[in-house]
Each structure stands twice: as structure tokens, then as C-alpha cells.
Amino acid sequence: MLGAIKRELFEGIRAAVADAGYGHDVDPSAVELEAFDDEEKGEFSSAISFAIAADAGKNPMAVADELAASHRERGLPSGVASVTVVNGHINYHLDVERMARRTLSTIDAEGSAYGAREREDPDRIVADVSSPNIAKPLHVGHLRNTILSDALMNVLEERGHDVTRDNHLGDWGTQFGNLLHEYVEFGDAEAFEADPIAHLLELYQQFERRDGLLEDVAEFGALTDGFETAVAEERAYHVDDGKEWFARLERGDEAAVERWEQFRESSIERFEAIYAELGVEFDCWLGESFYAREGWNDRVVDRALEDDVAMRGPDGSAFIPIYPDDYDDGGAPDSDGVDPSLDRAREALDEAGSVEDAAFDAFYIVKSDGSTVYGTRDLATIEYRVSEFDADQSVYVVASEQNRYFQQLFVAARKMGYSDIHLEHIDYGMISLPEGSMSTRGGQIVTVREVLDAARERARDIVAEKGRNVEGDEVDAIARKIALATVKYGMVASNRGKDVTFDIDEAVSLEGDTGPYVQYATTRAYSILDSAPAVPAVDGIDPAAFNDTDYNLLYHLGRYPLVLERCEERYDAAPLARYLLDLAHVFNSFYHKNRVLDAESAAEERLVLTDATAQVFENGLGLLGIDTLAEM
């Protein structure tokens, strides 16, 4: 209901501004939700008077008085008791009894749909989620991605959009040529059978290590010419053969494809086991290979060249030049901000003599050896999403390491003429465990498996130590849910852009700012409800019986839909995670300060309130993919 009031207040202010004859644009951000019972600011306030006064050369206090008076006269929304002006701010104070009644009846009526929105014209959103590379284990970075994207897509769906989750696997590219080479030379069918990902990772690292070593030797300068030639030959033997394997793969050569398919399928099988454990699903797994094998790469390459958006380099490669000013609003959904012509690039290339030195960035779509690259597949993906999905948005949950790349991709896409689709890189920071930061280099990766096992073990200790009335098999089942709450909450609690150190010992605690803490608050609500004979009907209770602690809790329940709105605006689940933590704190203090079951007054009212709180916990935790627990 706070969302509805906020909207009505914004409309009222807009009308008041127009009535007063100010030609000022008012948008919904003119009204802000404040804390509950803020004596000065009220629950909602607006600072619009300052901007209007500045435009009109007036005093902001006078403008605020004028607008407040006009708004009062037009009538305040139902649920708002009064409007005041303090220091030029227009402040609105809730009618708490009305708020209580409206909030409780809305939650009662909507139940598990409380917070959800229906739209006449939802956006069709196709999202890259998880998207690991095959032949390598899932590491904590993927864990953050998978959990964040699942929660965020749940929220976008709850907000009424039509979401397709695409696990855009990294399953194509020169590295798989290298891996095929290495496997053919050194692979071991038994080792592959036993643990495909481990074996392939080993081979891949061996290839890289050798190549790096040979490069160092070549750079250092060999002792004799013969030695130098031998080093160069050895390097070429592996690298050229790797390239040849990838070329075969791109040509559809049967032997190459068959082996590659084994790599891919065995990787997917392992990934799926982990996804199942996390309770995460996808609508499709197209992967980079799809666009290569189904002709989508060729389609975009041909078109880019035909339309003179891409040009050939001196070595036969093809790229889309990106000029420095293209970046200014490169991701914006219209192509006006980018210069698709090649004239500047041709001139710059003439002047500099090489692509590397020229005054533009080259977004490659074909390498000199004719093979495609990562960026080709991403342009092909956009083409596919536009033409096959008729997508309104193509969004990418991908680590912020790739920020620059996505800026370039979006500029290139605009140059290609994809101007109506909203492109969004939903980036997120690095995740490390306290021991140090993760990196796939040098084999020092922390896998998802390790993190999940560690969380499970800690959770089991906690249940064994603190669990009431739980025994045997139940301990395991509960520990599993607590472990998931630990990991899932930990992955989304910080704003996604931030780097995070994930400390399992802290994250599993029932006392800190953790998932299990929120879970525990919910269990407490359930146990109150369990001990009550029945939850009374909302219509029968008297909201005047509530005290300020109750109203504070009601206010938090009422703001839940606004939190989801904020998540949508920011493409982040962190506001929801933080909200649930706040709600848990507020509910705990409600529980400690008030009597519920044996209250002298308001016992019925508080049961209804507790029931509504449990519902909001369920809805919010559900979106984060966290189960609630009847016992813990």
C-alpha cells in the first residue's frame, strides 16, 4: 500500500505544481519514502520545492508552503493524515491505523502474490545467466553469478516481466582447438571417464604452461640458432595444431565435433548436478557454439561487412571500429550516439599504419585466420534475440572484469542497427574467501563444490548444537537448507558492484547479518502461529490496538513492493536481501517488546500481524531461492 500512496502523492504534487503555474517536470522520484515515524520528515517527503524555486528565482520555503497548501486543498491520498513543511521540504505523515488496515488486508488478500505486479505489456527479457566455460570447474565467481542472476530474474518475473534464462555456455573458441590438440596428444580416456572436468582442466593448463614457457625461452633468446629454431618449431607444432583443430570444429569436421561434444556433454552433466543442488534452472543452454554452428555468426559477419559497419584489416581480419566518442552513450537504446561510418577509421588507419596504433578501438569479429571470436558470438546472440525472441531487453549477468568488453559490444550492436533492444550489462564484483582471492590461473581456484561442502558442514554443527526437537535424518535436511541460505544470502547481500569476501563462518551464524538469521526469524513467526488456536480474520481486528512497535513492523511490511521496484530499477537483488534483514530485526524487536499470545490487549491483532510477517518472509526469501524452516 505504501507504493500506491507514493504514486498518489507524486500525482498530487504534480497537479499542485501545475496548479501553481510552474512549468516544471515532476517525475516519480520527486517523492521519497522515509523511515517510519520520522517526526520531521514524515514517512514520505519531497524536496521538489528546491528545484522549482531555483528555476523560478523564488524562495524554496515559500514554494514548499504554496505547494503543500494546494495539495492539502486538492485532498491528500487516503492513508495520509497530514502534510507539513520543514526547511523547504514537503513532508507527509501517515495515518497509521489506515496503513495498518490496508496493509494487512492487502497481504491477506494477495498472499503469495503480495509484491507481484501484473503488466499489460511486459518486457520480454532474455538474460545471460551463470554462463560458465565448459571443461573447467565451477568456481565461486560462478556461484555469485548463478545465485545473483536467479534471484534477480525471479524478481523481474515477480515484477511482471517475461524472462528467458539462457545459460550462455562458453563452449566455442580457439581454446577448444587447443584442448582437442592436447587431448589427442596426451589425453587419457580412463582419467576423462573418472573425472572429465578435472582431466580437461589439467590438459588445458598443461597446454598454457608449455606455451608460456616456450614463449619465455623465445623471448630470452636461445643459445644457438638451432635451439631457437627448435623452440619456435615446438611452439608452432602445438599452437598451429590447436588452431587447426578449431578450424576443423568450425568447419564441422566429424572427428573434431564428436570429441568436442563429449567434452561439452560431460561438463554439462557435472554442472547440472550443482545447479540441481542450488535449486536453479534455465530455460535454455544455447551457448556460444549454437551461434557458430547454426549459421548466426556468418549472418552477422556478412551483414556487418555488407553494411560497411565492419572493415577488413591489413591481415584479412574484420573488425568494427569504435571511436572514442562512441562510448559516450554507447549502451543507450538508440543509435544516434554512435558513428557507424568507416571513413574516420580508414583515415586513422592510413595515418597510423597499423590497427593497434590507430585512433579507434577495433571490435574484432573475424581473426586473420578466418575464425570467429567471443564478440562475434555475442553479436550473433543479439541478432538471434532480436529476430527469434523479439526481445525487448538482452541483459548479461557477467563479472565486472568484462565492463570494457560490454561497452564495446553495445556500441558495435548499435552500429549494426540493433537500436530498439535494451542492452544491459549486469556486472558484479569479485568474490574471495578470507584466505585470498580466487583466480583460475595457476590452478588455485576455489570450486563451488568446496564452498557448498564447507557450508553444509558448518550448518550441521549448528543444528547439532542448537537445534531443538530435531533428530536423525531431519538434521541433515535442515542443515542443507541452512547451508543454502548461508551461501545464497551471502552472494546477494552486498550491492552487486562490490567485491565481496565471503566468510562462511560468519555467514552461517544465526546471529549476524545472515541468511540463517532471517530464516530463524521466520521460524519464530511460525512457532507463534503454531501455538495459537487460529489466526483471526483481518476484518475483525481493531488497528487502534497496535502500538508504535507494531506500526513500525506494519510499515516495513507495507514497503516490500517498493523494495522489489528498487531491485528492478537497479537490476540487483541486494535491496531485497537487506530489506529481509531489516524485517527480521524489526520483527525480533516486535517479538521481544510485545507480548503476542498472552497480550492483555492486541493479542488478536498481533497474531494477524505475525501471520502477515511470515507471508512476507516467505515471499521475499522465495525470490532469493531460500527455503523457510518450520523447525530449526
Footprint of ligand ARG on this chain (CB under 6 A)?
Answer: 128, 131-133, 168, 170, 378, 381, 396, 398
**Is residue 140 within 8 Å of residue 448, measured between CB atoms?**
yes
Looking at beta carbons only, is 414 or 559 nearer to ligand ARG?
A: 414
CB-nearer residue toward ligand ARG: 401 or 548: 401
Would you say 9 or 398 has its CB closer to ligand ARG? Answer: 398
Shortest spacing between CB 412 and ligand ARG, in angstroms: 13
Q: How far is the CB of 168 from ligand ARG (least distance, A)?
A: 5
Nearer to ligand ARG, 106 or 145 (CB): 145
Least Å distance between CB 199 and ligand ARG? 20
Q: How far is the CB of 207 from ligand ARG (least distance, A)?
A: 18
Q: Which residues contact 217 (CB under 8 A, 6 or more apart)?
A: 231
DSSP string, 32-78: EE--TT-TTTBSEEE-HHHHHHHHHT--HHHHHHHHHHHHHHH-PPT
Taking the complex as a whole, how short is the minimal distance between the CB of residue 270 and ligand ARG, in angstroms? 16
Nearer to ligand ARG, 296 or 591 (CB): 296
Question: Minimum Å distance from CB 442 to ligand ARG?
Answer: 17
CA-nearest of 432, 593, 585, 577 to 511 is 585
Rounded CA Rg of the chain? 29
Residue number with the smallest Cβ distance to ligand ARG: 170
C-beta of 196 vs 620, nearer to ligand ARG? 196
> If DSSP codes are grouped into helix, strand and coil, which group holds residue 166?
strand
Question: What is the residue-wise DSSP string for 170-192?
Answer: B--SHHHHHHHHHHHHH--HHHH
265/356 Cα distance (integer angstroms): 38
Other CB atoms within a 10 A radius of the CB of residue 339 amount to 18
- Give Cα separations from 76 to 5, 11, 567 (angstroms): 10, 10, 28
Q: In the numeric block, which cell numbers belong to residue 3? A: 507504493
Q: Name which of 107 and 398 has its Cβ closer to ligand ARG.
A: 398
Q: Report the side by side order of strands in the sheet with 89-94.
A: 32-33, 44-46, 89-94, 80-86
Of 80 and 300, the one with the shorter C-beta distance to ligand ARG is: 300
Residues in Cβ contact with 221 at an 8 Å cutoff, skipping those fewer than 6 apart: 228
Question: Which CB atom, from 12 or from 287, has the smaller least distance to ligand ARG?
Answer: 287
- Tell me the CA distances in angstroms from 502 to 149, 482, 487, 489, 622, one per residue in order: 18, 16, 9, 11, 22
> In this structure, are residues 169 and 290 in contact, taking their beta carbons and an 8 Å threshold?
no
Which residue carries 524562495 as its cell? 59
CB atoms within 10 A of CB 60: 20
